[in-house]
Amino acid sequence: MLWSVAALRRSGLLCGRGGGRGLWTGRPKSETDNVKPLVGVKILDLTRVLAGPFATMNLGDLGAEVIKVERPGVGDDTRTWGPPFVGTESTYFLSVNRNKKSIAVNIKDPKGVKIVKELATVCDVFVENYVPGKLTAMGLGYEDVDKVAPHIVYCSITGYGHTGPMSQRAGYDAVASAISGMMHITGPEDGDPVRPGVAMTDLATGLYAYGAVMAGLIQRCKTGKGLFIDCNLLSSQVACLTQVAANYLIDQREGKRWGTAHGSIVPYQAFKTKDGHLVVGAGNNQQFATLCKILNLPELIDDSKYKTNHLRVQNRKELIKILSARFEEEMTATWLCLFEGCGIPYGPINNMKGVFADPQVLHNGLIMEMNHPAVGKISVPEKGKIQLGCRSQEFQAWNSGMGLGAQTEDLCEEWGGRPGTTTAHTLSWRHQSPGENRCPGGCHLFLNVHRGITAVSTSMSGT
């Protein structure tokens, strides 16, 4: 046996407070403020590009430890996607890979596969985005991993799903956006389709996966067993079509492009001002009345053509023409002043400079400053302070991005092996997480420590 009780004690795992057999110390006395929900969760991340890395990054933001498995030499494709680059790192890569540990493993080599499998035995989650069948061919499909790690939550992110006529196609956001109908409904009313300015199909899929992994952990809490999750770009984006799709499925109304406007709500769009654009909405009759007052068009309020949303939708063209003419008479800044505190939705169309100068954006802490080991101080966008309890918890950003395989050496030390080489090694994983909070009920949620050690012992016995 590789593990000795002494070794486990050294790692702190067998030292409960007051000694004895407790592996953890029960519900912490400290405030919940500094606890992240996924502390203790280990994620083995084989994903590349955007959807997968975005999902695991968000899970990492909640405290999970993310181990990113990359191809030796090249790594994640997005390391080369630029300009712009910061040193040798692309900003694309940096924007969705913070706080992960990178190990370089050649999974086309059976020894690499063995390493990944042994890592899986001590991880809680396995996330991948290979074309269906590719990992199975290499011996890392769900059935293979489940055999050695039955506790694993295995999340597979693909373009179109695991079965069906398009399942063998690699998934790319722009293509999925096109096939799923998103692109058709985005663009100027009388112009060509466009894609959302950022890969929202990839990101929506990443967010679905982020939620699904946690659902998987909850499920395992109940049953003690792992499970398989299938997230794909096509399904995620179609699900997000919501009322546009429902209009077609229920009422056979085809989707169309509306520019900045909305199919069912009038007015709710951008209006050209003297020097830019202002987006304004009036979702009900009360808001419409307020808008008319601000625009100094009170006669519209009682006009029978525009009394209800339904009527405003019917008489859209005429109404928008009147409102547009009025908006063009003043500068954006003037309108922002006039609309201040009015209670109806309005806002300028910000470019990036405008966004990151916006007082609310700064207040929400949406710029994360990080120290990158190679290039120094950089900033990336993030979703803001995670508030637990009554006090906000400052997010301690560390290990921003990481060199390809940067943690390979570190983990090797613990492992006593060298991944990706021709020498076969028996690997062991010493889990070090002092002071971590564990489910006091002995819940299966975080199997990592217990199951991991148990499983490693089991697999070792056969080696």
Residues annotated as catalytic (active site), given as ranges: 202
Rounded to an integer, what distance in angstroms lies between the CA atom of residue 3 and that of residue 333?
A: 68
133 contributes a contact to its own copies by CB under 8 A? no
Q: Report in angstroms how near the CB of residue 412 gets to its own copies at its nearest.
A: 27
**Among positions 60, 112, 132, 226, the unique one binding its own copies when judged by CB under 8 A:** 226
Q: Does 257 bind its own copies (CB under 8 A)?
A: yes
The only residue of 105, 182, 404, 406 in contact with its own copies, by rule CB under 8 A? 182
Residue among 93 and 415 whose Cβ is closer to its own copies: 93
- Taking the complex as a whole, the smallest distance from the CB of residue 410 to its own copies amounts, in Å, to 26
Q: Does residue 163 interact with its own copies by CB under 8 A?
A: yes
> Is residue 73 involved in binding its own copies (CB under 8 A)?
no
Stretch that binds its own copies, among 108-116, 321-329, 417-425, 431-439 (CB under 8 A): 431-439
Residue 332, φ and ψ in degrees, nearest 5: -55, -45
How near is the Cβ of 351 to its own copies at its closest, in Å?
5
Q: By 3-state DSSP, what share of the chain in percent is helix, strand and coil, each rounded to 5? A: 40, 15, 50
Shortest distance, CB of residue 293 to its own copies, whole angstroms? 17
Measured from the CB atom, the residue of 361 and 412 that comes closer to its own copies is 361
CB of 97 to its own copies, least distance (A): 10
- Give yes or no for a contact between 94 and 372, defined as CB atoms under 8 angstroms apart: yes
Q: Does residue 306 touch its own copies according to CB under 8 A?
A: no
Alpha-carbon span 300 to 294, nearest angstrom:
12
Count of CB atoms within 10 A of residue 314's CB? 14
Query: What is the DSSP code (8-state) at residue 184?
Result: T
Q: Which of 344, 348, 324, 353 is nearest to 336 (CA)?
A: 348
Interacting residue with its own copies among 88, 243, 324, 463 (CB under 8 A): 243
Let me know: does 360 contact 54? Beta carbons within 8 Å: no
Please select the residue that binds its own copies; options are 1, 2, 137, 246, rule is CB under 8 A.
Answer: 246
Q: Residue 248 has what DSSP assignment?
A: H
Reduced to 3 states (helix: H, G, I; strand: E, B; else coil), residue 164 is coil
Exactly one of 12, 72, 139, 281 binds its own copies (CB under 8 A); that residue is 281
Q: Which H or E element spans position 120?
A: helix 110-121
Give the number of other Cβ atoms within 10 Å of residue 265's Cβ. Answer: 15
Binding flag, residue 454, its own copies (CB under 8 A): yes
User: Rounded to the nearest whole angstrom, what is the least distance from the CB of residue 423 to its own copies in the complex?
Assistant: 26
Q: Count the Cβ atoms, other than its own, within 10 Å of residue 445.
A: 18
CA 343 from centre of chain: 32
* Of residues 11-40, those binding its own copies (CB under 8 A): 20-23, 26-28, 32, 35, 37-38
- Considering only residues 400 to 419 of the shown chain, the ones binding its own copies according to CB under 8 A are none
